[in-house]
Amino acid sequence: MSNLGATTCFSSRRKTPRPARQPQHDSAELVRTRRLLDEDFSLERAWSEINDAPAKAAASTIEALMFSLRAGGAALACSHARRRLAELTEAQLHEVCARLQRIDPNIARAWTPIEVELLVAVWSDLHG
């Protein structure tokens, strides 16, 4: 078997112009990571910022919470739903609220603004 085909393909790929990269908006996490890696940022300060950052709930925790909240506001009485809710950061809470209001009607009923307010009030109580 000849290597000629592979060489030809490789050389023709190299001559193909690459499409221009689209400008991307960096996520807040990416901006933070770049800032922490900056040479002017001390190791002690980076260590402190990383360890003092509020812990985010795992994606699996959010999905389990979403699953239980499909039943509506009554699910907030369940201890497992409250425990999962307590693990959310404020940003994650906003994400969950938005998702609850746009649930696919084939899956569950979308939450009303009053139910979302109840969810936020429970989260606030859990966070003291």
* Structural domain boundaries in the chain: 59-126
Instruction: Print burial letters for 60-88: b (CB count within 10 Å at least 16), e (below 16).
Output: ebbeebbebbeeebebbeeeebbebbeeb
Segment 81-90 mean pLDDT: 95
Residue 85: predicted pLDDT: 95
According to the model, what pLDDT value does residue 29 have?
Answer: 75
- Model's pTM, two decimal places? 0.60
Specify the residue for token string 């009030």.
121
What are residue 53's phi and psi, to 5 degrees?
A: -70, 140
Residue 124 has pLDDT above 80, yes or no: yes
